[in-house]
Structure 1
């Protein structure tokens, strides 16, 4: 459970980060105070620090997919924890959508998965 890890040292993105905001909002009822050890402005910096094994973080699975694959970082599975961030593609629904634009949308949906919703999309 997330509340069992609240006293561990946490490294989070800086104030204003969407991932940080979603994570803190999700845990606020379960964790009254998180031990934020450090705040960094770049996910790459957080990943480097995490490889020392001295702290915990919450970052996008997409951002650490290679490190999870090669074993330089590990995922901690928690009970009753399903924190998700949603992404939106917003564009003018009546404007021409080129093949390149449609390929970009498809690529983005594939990379991000179910957490991406398109506003203005029309089913063709």
Structure 2
């Protein structure tokens, strides 16, 4: 990879020539010379310099954004070439939406590390749109997302797993004592504790409401799943959550599934990639996703 590009990225991220020089094991004058030459080659100043900081200007932001893509593509190219003679190894950048990333992905990575310890995974957790965009921009090798999103031409989308969404309540909630199935319409006046708009879990809840012509008035929005579970356990309301996310609480009796007619709501998870060429590290990871029995073991069978 071009050294000028590497130096520029380091300076932009460290926002300081001295810190960049230390990270690069270079002298500060050498770093400054690299930046001057790089700016001359680009034909425009890329960094705003003061005594206190170094910051990207508008042109610098454009160059930095594309420089990161170039570095990612170069690394992938090098890994593909290395793979011709070597076993699965090297870096693997994985992105996942919150439910899968927090509750399932750690188990998949642990299994991969047992068999392929030389693979070096890094994980980014975000919402579906963020992960898809990062895959498109080559900042991630692979993404795992749920729900619906705008399909981009560059993306290869492979459905690989299904997730059941169920309604949960505290064990002492009146709904938990019901011996019969609850009609969805009976839940309209309940307090619903839900993820924020834009999340796949919230999209599922809104889809359930639309399917049953419901418009609950009492909704509490919380930005992550764990505090939602704590709020439900505390008796603040009910929620629609992934069966992957509630296994521990069900086993310990902290939450209970409310049997509702027409549920569970099933959503699909997909693998996102772009390049037709895959490193061995990416191949073994995707194979683990495709054929891992743990994914089906998570399925809700009501035998908790």
Q: TM-score, normalised by structure 2?
A: 0.34
2-structure distance, mates of 1:77, 1:5: 12
State the partner residue of 2:255: 73
Say whether 1:101 aligns with 2:295: no
| Larger RCO: 1 or 2 (CA < 8 Å, sep 6+) | 1
How does 1:49-88 map onto structure 2 within 5 Å? 49-88=231-270
2:204 to 11, 14, 22: 22
Say whether 1:42 aligns with 2:201: no
2-structure distance, mates of 1:72, 1:104: 33
1-structure distance, mates of 2:284, 2:253: 32
SS of the counterpart of 2:256? Answer: coil
State the partner residue of 1:7: 189
1-structure distance, mates of 2:218, 2:277: 45
Runs of 4+ in 1 over 4 A off after TM superposition: none
Q: Aligned pairs, how many? A: 113
> Deviations along 1:29-85, whole A, 9 cap, x unmatched?
423311333100010110111111231001111111111111111111111224122
Q: TM-score, normalised by structure 1?
A: 0.76
State the partner residue of 1:117: none
Structure 2 unmatched runs, 5+: 1-182, 297-304
Q: Which has the higher strand share?
A: 2
State the partner residue of 1:122: none
SS of the counterpart of 1:84? Answer: strand
Deviation at 1:93?
6.5
Partners of 1:13 and 1:39 within 8 A in 2: yes
RMSD (Å) for aligned C-alpha atoms: 2.3
Deviation at 1:23?
1.9
Partners of 1:19 and 1:85 within 8 A in 2: no
Measured at CA, do residues 66 and 104 of structure 1 come closer, stay the same or move farther in structure 2, by a change above 3 Å?
farther
Measured at CA, do residues 103 and 70 of structure 1 come closer, stay the same or move farther in structure 2, by a change above 3 Å?
farther
Between 53-62 and 25-34, report the one with greater CA deviation.
Answer: 25-34
> Greater CA radius of gyration, 1 or 2?
2
Q: Which has the higher helix share?
A: 2
